[in-house]
């Protein structure tokens, strides 16, 4: 029995942790989560992988006990297994151009958490060939950004991280950049739009 403690993890991390256990060959596992949304997401993922799932609640959280009883199910396009993405839809190399330190503008705190979760999901998928940071996106490359460690991990996996030098100079943060390479508009646009799937965020 493989045990996965996903308490304290925000979406989509609990699903990704369960997926890692399944990918390692687990046929019986227990997943402990601390909120109903994570419980539903993990349950849908595991059922889509051919597991029977039972759920119980206690003082420690929501315990999902799963045992594989069938091969992974074919999931209809109109019924995704999780309400937040756990896998990139395609293995084609992606180029990300990020123009902001947050996803969305209503809440800076929420936007920062969403940006970190997005980058971590892309790191797990392993399909991003280059991440380029421009305008406010350059703040993601600073040591006090919660996303900087994720960018370092992506870089270690082979993803190029390019940081706009004009932007870091404008904000006065060039000497604080802790991940990636200081770059320019020509290199950034060439690298991002040379990828099979260029995506602009922000």
* Cβ–Cβ < 8 Å for 200, 97: yes
Task: Please indicate, yes or no, if residue 75 is contained in any of the structural domains.
Answer: no
What is the per-residue pLDDT for 58? 86
Instruction: Between 92 and 123, name the one with better pLDDT.
Output: 123
* Cβ–Cβ < 8 Å for 10, 33: no
Percent of the chain with pLDDT over 70: 89
Q: Which among 22, 52, 68 is the end of a domain?
A: 68
Number of domains in the chain: 2
Query: Does 64 lie in the same domain as 100?
Result: no
What is the per-residue pLDDT for 75? 47
pLDDT in tens, 164-180: 999 999 999 999 999 99
What is the per-residue pLDDT for 45? 87
Q: Which two tokens stand for residue 175?
A: 């000497």
Instruction: Count CA atoms within 13 Å of residue 98 on its CB side.
Output: 28
Calpha distance 109→103 (Å, rounded):
10
Task: Please indicate, yes or no, if residue 80 is contained in any of the structural domains.
Answer: no
- Identify the CATH number of the domain in which residue 149 sits: 3.40.1260.10
Backbone angles phi, psi at 71, to 5 degrees: -65, 160
pLDDT in tens, 112-141: 989 999 999 899 888 899 999 999 999 999
43 alpha-carbon distance from chain centroid: 19
Q: Is 45 exposed, middle or buried (0-12, 13-18, 19+ CB in 10 A)?
A: buried
- Identify the CATH number of the domain in which residue 62 sits: 3.30.110.40
**Other beta carbons within 10 Å of 122:** 20
Mean pLDDT of 28-38: 89
What is the C-alpha end-to-end distance of the chain, expressed in Å? 43
Q: Which two tokens stand for residue 150?
A: 């994720």
**Other beta carbons within 10 Å of 113:** 17
Task: Please indicate, yes or no, if residue 89 is contained in any of the structural domains.
Answer: no
Range of the domain at 27: 2-68
Instruction: Count CA atoms within 13 Å of residue 181 on its CB side.
Output: 11
* Cβ–Cβ < 8 Å for 142, 180: no
Mean pLDDT of 150-158: 94
Q: Which two tokens stand for residue 103?
A: 């996803």
28-33/61-68 β-pairing? antiparallel
* Cβ–Cβ < 8 Å for 151, 179: yes
Task: Please indicate, yes or no, if residue 150 is contained in any of the structural domains.
Answer: yes
Of all helices (H) and strands (E), which one includes residue 39? helix 36-48
Task: Please indicate, yes or no, if residue 88 is contained in any of the structural domains.
Answer: no
Calpha distance 131→161 (Å, rounded):
5
Give the model's confidence band at 80: pLDDT under 50 very low, under 70 low, under 90 confident, else very high: low
Query: Does 127 lie in the same domain as 168?
Result: yes
What is the per-residue pLDDT for 95? 94
């Amino acid at each position: 029995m493989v045990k996965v403690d996903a308490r304290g993890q925000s979406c989509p991390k609990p699903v990704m942790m369960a997926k890692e256990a399944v990918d390692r060959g687990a046929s019986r596992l227990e997943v402990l989560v601390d909120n109903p949304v994570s419980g539903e997401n993990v349950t849908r993922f595991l059922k889509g992988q051919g597991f029977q799932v039972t759920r119980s609640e206690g003082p420690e959280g929501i315990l999902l006990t799963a045992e594989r009883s069938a091969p992974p199910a074919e999931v209809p396009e109109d019924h995704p297994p999780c309400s937040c993405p756990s896998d990139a839809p395609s293995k084609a190399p992606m180029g990300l151009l990020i123009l902001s330190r947050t996803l969305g503008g209503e809440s800076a705190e929420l936007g920062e958490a969403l940006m970190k979760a997005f980058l971590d999901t892309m790191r797990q998928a392993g399909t991003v060939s280059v991440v380029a940071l421009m305008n406010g996106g350059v703040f993601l490359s600073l040591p006090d950004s919660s996303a900087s460690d994720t960018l370092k991990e992506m870089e270690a996996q082979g993803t190029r991280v390019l940081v706009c030098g004009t932007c870091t100079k404008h904000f006065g943060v060039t000497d604080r950049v802790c991940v990636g390479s200081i770059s320019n508009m020509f290199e950034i646009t060439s690298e991002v739009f040379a990828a099979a799937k260029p995506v602009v965020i922000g």
